Amino acid sequence: MSSTFSVTHNTKGSPSLIKGLHFVDIKNEVLGKDYKLSLVFVGTKRMSTINRTYRKKDSATDILSFPLEVDSGEIFICPQYAAKKSKEFERPLKNFLTFLFIHGLFHLKGLTHGSTMERKEREIRGKFGI
């Protein structure tokens, strides 16, 4: 069986940022073991380009999620932008990256912002001690 989770680092420092984080376990809990997920860490310039291309917003953002098929998708995270946002939310960066990852997973699952999504995110954060 081929891997159902891949991580690509297109920024300096991102491998050390995610060391010790339980992305695979969280992904399997939310989307299932068979869901094929690509997690890509990008810089602010690349994130701005992706956001402009797919959402018509001319700025960087912390996370973007793209379902590709019923059982596959991509998540792009911009650590530099996330670092700024983590301070606003008063969370350590590693904690905030996991928070964002969980948020992106639920978007891939088809949920939109609202109380149901927030409740499910809280459940997963609680289960993994985030």
If one counts the domains in the chain, the total is: 1
**Mean pLDDT, all residues of the chain:** 90
Range of the domain at 68: 5-127
Q: What is the pLDDT of residue 1?
A: 41
Q: What is the CATH number of the domain that holds 12?
A: 3.40.390.30
In Å, how far from its chain's centre is CA 90? Answer: 18
Residue whose C-alpha is closest to residue 29's, from 5, 47, 2: 5
Q: What is the pLDDT of residue 8?
A: 77
pLDDT tens track for 51-107: 999 999 999 999 999 999 999 999 999 999 999 999 998 999 989 999 999 999 999
pLDDT tens track for 44-53: 999 999 999 9
In Å, how far from its chain's centre is CA 12? Answer: 18
pLDDT of 115 higher than 70: yes
pLDDT of 18 higher than 70: no
* Contact between 102 and 26 (Cβ < 8 Å): yes
Structure-model confidence comparison of residues 8 and 34, the more confident one: 34
- Residue recorded with tokens 């991580």: 7
pLDDT of 12 higher than 50: yes
Q: What is the pTM of this model?
A: 0.89
Q: What is the pLDDT of residue 130?
A: 86
Percent pLDDT > 70 in the chain is 91
Rounded Cα–Cα distance for residues 30 and 43 (Å): 26
SS (H, E, C) the chain: CCCCEEEEECCCCHHHHHCCCCHHHHHHHHHCCCCEEEEEECCHHHHHHHHHHHHCCCCCCCEEEEEEECCEEEEEECHHHHHHHHHHCCCCHHHHHHHHHHHHHHHHCCCCCCHHHHHHHHHHHHHCCC
